[in-house]
Amino acid sequence: MTDSAVLPTTFQALRVFKDAQGTVQAERQTLPVADLPQGEVTVQVTHSSLNYKDGMAVAGRPGILRRYPMTPGIDFAGTVLQDESGTYSPGETVIVTGWGVGERHDGGYATLARVPARWIVRAPEGTDAFWAMSVGTAGFTAMLAVMALEDQGLKAGEVLVTGAAGGVGSTAVALLARAGYEVTASTGRLEEADYLTGLGARHIIGREEMPALKRPMEGERWSGVVDTVGGATLAGAYASTRTHGSVAVCGLAGGAELNTTVYPMILRGVNLLGIDSVTCPTERRESAWARLAHELPAATLAPMTQERGLSELPALAQEILAGRVRGRTVIDVT
């Protein structure tokens, strides 16, 4: 049942809006609780995170926010204050990623958020909101990618991770290394080689050293690929994937186009697997988060995680868009 007495009357949010000149701006604002969107569950947000999409939203790049004003932040974790559906008890720690949060529905860069109950996942036992956002959408996506590769038969061998020093890439390297694969990390930042080796990468390839695509099919190398870059990088990785291997296609940090042929699919049985964390069904989400709790404990995440405040987001947005953010950035919204 609704009990508005438990809710504060106002909350803080990073709002992105268009000014009188039509320029997109981001500003910390105090809003009345009545401004929260529709949904059964009101959450006291303690942590959100910085993802590539958040960088685009906060920097005012088109294509992410579907209306203005809007609170960005595509993921958050915190404590349930009230739940009109009766599914969650006040005080439970919960996680929200995807479903259009921070794109078409006000997101996690705020001290309060309100969402439908079906968008929520309970934090696995023994974890907390900081851990959940150290993983965040990026780590959750990496887990979905690894699960997709394994569903298609990946058991052993050399696995390539592109955009390896980024959020999805770093968590994919750590997850794959822990699962016993021989991880090759492709990065444009060779100065991060020690960092990537520390996460478990066996080999490091510079972005420029990635085998160039000269023929529709190149020599077979990768048993599996987690690609966050897209474009020519993806085309090259796909052409070098071993017979019956798979490529988990996660991102477009280097480009959205894909110029290739069907030959690796029809002559080697290579699979291109689409990964979409936003619409991932609830049961799969719960399995992924349970596995993350087991395989990416806080101690494993610590070397790839930094914590920053809400007011630092405009500067951080520029950094992530320039490819200069390493690993994961947790946003303390309190």
32-40, 76-84, 157-165, 292-300 -> range binding ligand NDP (CB under 6 A): 157-165
Residue (258 or 278) nearer to ligand NDP, CB: 278
Binder to ligand NDP among 39, 73, 102, 169 (CB under 6 A)? 169
Residue (80 or 320) nearer to ligand NDP, CB: 320
First to last CA, the chain: 26
CA–CA gap between residue 129 and residue 139 (Å, rounded): 14
Binder to ligand NDP among 78, 254, 270, 331 (CB under 6 A)? 254
10-18, 61-69, 165-173, 216-224 -> range binding ligand NDP (CB under 6 A): 165-173
CA–CA gap between residue 288 and residue 282 (Å, rounded): 10
Q: Is 276 an interacting residue with respect to ligand NDP (CB under 6 A)?
A: yes
Binder to ligand NDP among 52, 88, 119, 222 (CB under 6 A)? 52
**How many residues at the interface with ligand NDP, by CB under 6 A?**
31
Q: Minimal distance in Å, beta carbon 226 to ligand NDP? A: 10
CA–CA gap between residue 43 and residue 50 (Å, rounded): 19
**Contact between residue 112 and residue 7 where contact means Cβ atoms under 8 Å apart:** yes
Q: Is 252 an interacting residue with respect to ligand NDP (CB under 6 A)?
A: yes
178 Cβ partners below 8 Å, 6+ apart? 200, 295, 296, 300
Binder to ligand NDP among 187, 223, 241, 305 (CB under 6 A)? 187
| Helix 282-295 / helix 129-151 crossing angle, nearest 10 deg | 110
273 Cβ partners below 8 Å, 6+ apart? 145, 148, 149, 152, 246, 247, 248, 249
Q: Is 316 an interacting residue with respect to ligand NDP (CB under 6 A)?
A: no
2-10, 22-30, 181-189, 296-304 -> range binding ligand NDP (CB under 6 A): 181-189
Cα 42 versus chain centre, distance: 23
Residue (108 or 254) nearer to ligand NDP, CB: 254
Nearest to residue 144, comparing CAs of 16, 244, 28, 284? 284
Q: Is 190 an interacting residue with respect to ligand NDP (CB under 6 A)?
A: no
Q: Is 166 an interacting residue with respect to ligand NDP (CB under 6 A)?
A: yes
Encoded one letter per residue, x for contact with ligand NDP by CB under 6 A and - for no contact, window 23-42 reads --------------------
Closest residue to ligand NDP, judged by C-beta, is 166
Q: How many CA atoms lie within 13 Å of 86's alpha carbon, on the beta-carbon side?
A: 1
151 Cβ partners below 8 Å, 6+ apart? none
Q: Is 305 an interacting residue with respect to ligand NDP (CB under 6 A)?
A: no
For 138, the token pair is: 């990026």
Residue (42 or 163) nearer to ligand NDP, CB: 163
Q: Minimal distance in Å, beta carbon 216 to ligand NDP? A: 22
Helix, strand, coil in percent for the chain, rounding step 5: 35, 30, 35
**Contact between residue 10 and residue 31 where contact means Cβ atoms under 8 Å apart:** yes
Residues lying near ligand NDP in the complex (CB under 6 A): 51-53, 137-138, 141, 163-169, 187-189, 207, 228-229, 250-254, 275-278, 320, 323, 325
